[in-house]
Protein backbone atom coordinates (compact mmCIF):
# COMPACT_ATOMS: atom_id res chain seq x y z
CA UNK A 1 0.00 0.00 0.00
CA UNK A 2 2.84 2.34 0.81
CA UNK A 3 4.38 1.69 -2.59
CA UNK A 4 1.13 2.63 -4.34
CA UNK A 5 0.85 5.84 -2.30
CA UNK A 6 4.46 6.68 -3.12
CA UNK A 7 3.80 6.06 -6.81
CA UNK A 8 0.75 8.34 -6.82
CA UNK A 9 2.68 11.03 -4.93
CA UNK A 10 5.49 10.81 -7.49
CA UNK A 11 3.02 11.04 -10.36
CA UNK A 12 1.29 14.03 -8.76
CA UNK A 13 4.64 15.75 -8.28
CA UNK A 14 5.51 15.20 -11.91
CA UNK A 15 2.08 16.45 -12.98
CA UNK A 16 2.34 19.76 -11.14
CA UNK A 17 6.10 20.33 -11.48
CA UNK A 18 6.19 21.28 -15.18
CA UNK A 19 5.30 24.83 -16.16
CA UNK A 20 3.65 26.14 -19.31
CA UNK A 21 1.68 24.26 -21.97
CA UNK A 22 3.22 20.92 -21.07
CA UNK A 23 1.68 21.16 -17.59
CA UNK A 24 -1.80 21.34 -19.09
CA UNK A 25 -1.16 18.31 -21.25
CA UNK A 26 0.35 16.44 -18.32
CA UNK A 27 -2.60 17.30 -16.08
CA UNK A 28 -5.02 16.18 -18.77
CA UNK A 29 -3.22 12.87 -19.21
CA UNK A 30 -3.27 12.27 -15.45
CA UNK A 31 -6.98 13.09 -15.42
CA UNK A 32 -7.51 10.39 -18.03
CA UNK A 33 -5.46 7.97 -15.95
CA UNK A 34 -7.45 8.81 -12.81
CA UNK A 35 -10.74 8.39 -14.66
CA UNK A 36 -9.73 4.97 -16.00
CA UNK A 37 -8.45 3.75 -12.63
CA UNK A 38 -11.55 5.06 -10.85
CA UNK A 39 -13.88 3.38 -13.32
CA UNK A 40 -11.96 0.13 -13.04
CA UNK A 41 -12.17 0.11 -9.25
CA UNK A 42 -15.86 1.04 -9.32
CA UNK A 43 -16.66 -1.66 -11.87
CA UNK A 44 -14.74 -4.25 -9.86
CA UNK A 45 -16.52 -3.29 -6.64
CA UNK A 46 -19.89 -3.29 -8.37
CA UNK A 47 -19.28 -6.70 -9.89
CA UNK A 48 -18.25 -8.17 -6.54
CA UNK A 49 -21.30 -6.63 -4.86
CA UNK A 50 -23.69 -7.87 -7.52
CA UNK A 51 -22.18 -11.33 -7.41
CA UNK A 52 -22.52 -11.63 -3.65
CA UNK A 53 -26.07 -10.26 -3.81
CA UNK A 54 -27.07 -12.81 -6.43
CA UNK A 55 -25.38 -15.64 -4.51
CA UNK A 56 -27.20 -14.71 -1.31
CA UNK A 57 -30.53 -14.51 -3.16
CA UNK A 58 -30.01 -17.93 -4.76
CA UNK A 59 -29.04 -19.43 -1.40
CA UNK A 60 -32.09 -17.90 0.27
CA UNK A 61 -34.40 -19.15 -2.45
CA UNK A 62 -32.90 -22.63 -2.19
CA UNK A 63 -33.55 -22.67 1.56
CA UNK A 64 -37.07 -21.29 1.33
CA UNK A 65 -38.61 -21.48 -2.17
CA UNK A 66 -41.79 -19.73 -1.02
CA UNK A 67 -39.85 -16.50 -0.41
CA UNK A 68 -38.29 -16.51 -3.89
CA UNK A 69 -40.40 -13.66 -5.25
CA UNK A 70 -39.77 -11.36 -2.31
CA UNK A 71 -36.06 -12.14 -2.31
CA UNK A 72 -35.87 -11.48 -6.05
CA UNK A 73 -37.53 -8.08 -5.63
CA UNK A 74 -35.12 -7.15 -2.86
CA UNK A 75 -32.20 -8.34 -4.96
CA UNK A 76 -33.21 -6.12 -7.89
CA UNK A 77 -33.42 -3.10 -5.60
CA UNK A 78 -29.99 -3.87 -4.15
CA UNK A 79 -28.46 -4.35 -7.60
CA UNK A 80 -29.94 -1.02 -8.75
CA UNK A 81 -28.31 0.73 -5.79
CA UNK A 82 -24.97 -0.96 -6.47
CA UNK A 83 -25.15 -0.01 -10.15
CA UNK A 84 -26.02 3.58 -9.25
CA UNK A 85 -22.67 3.95 -7.49
CA UNK A 86 -20.86 2.77 -10.61
CA UNK A 87 -22.84 5.23 -12.71
CA UNK A 88 -21.91 8.07 -10.32
CA UNK A 89 -18.26 7.16 -10.84
CA UNK A 90 -18.82 7.23 -14.60
CA UNK A 91 -20.30 10.73 -14.32
CA UNK A 92 -17.32 11.94 -12.28
CA UNK A 93 -14.95 10.41 -14.81
CA UNK A 94 -16.74 12.15 -17.69
CA UNK A 95 -16.54 15.45 -15.81
CA UNK A 96 -12.81 14.91 -15.22
CA UNK A 97 -12.27 14.14 -18.91
CA UNK A 98 -14.38 16.75 -20.68
CA UNK A 99 -15.07 19.57 -18.20
CA UNK A 100 -11.86 19.28 -16.22
CA UNK A 101 -12.13 21.65 -13.26
CA UNK A 102 -8.35 21.62 -12.76
CA UNK A 103 -7.53 23.24 -16.09
Q: Domains in the chain, ordered, with CATH?
A: 24-98 (1.20.20.10)
Q: What number of other Cβ atoms are within 10 A of residue 97's Cβ?
A: 14
pLDDT of the residue at 94: 87
Residue 4 pLDDT grade (very low, low, confident, very high; cuts 50, 70, 90): confident
Say how many residues make up the chain: 103
- Express each pLDDT in 51-102 by its tens digit: 999 999 999 999 999 999 999 999 999 999 999 999 999 998 888 888 877 6
SS3 30: helix
Amino acid sequence: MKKILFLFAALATAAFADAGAAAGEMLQSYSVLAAVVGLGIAALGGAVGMGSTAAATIAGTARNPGMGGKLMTTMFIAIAMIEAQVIYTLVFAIIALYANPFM
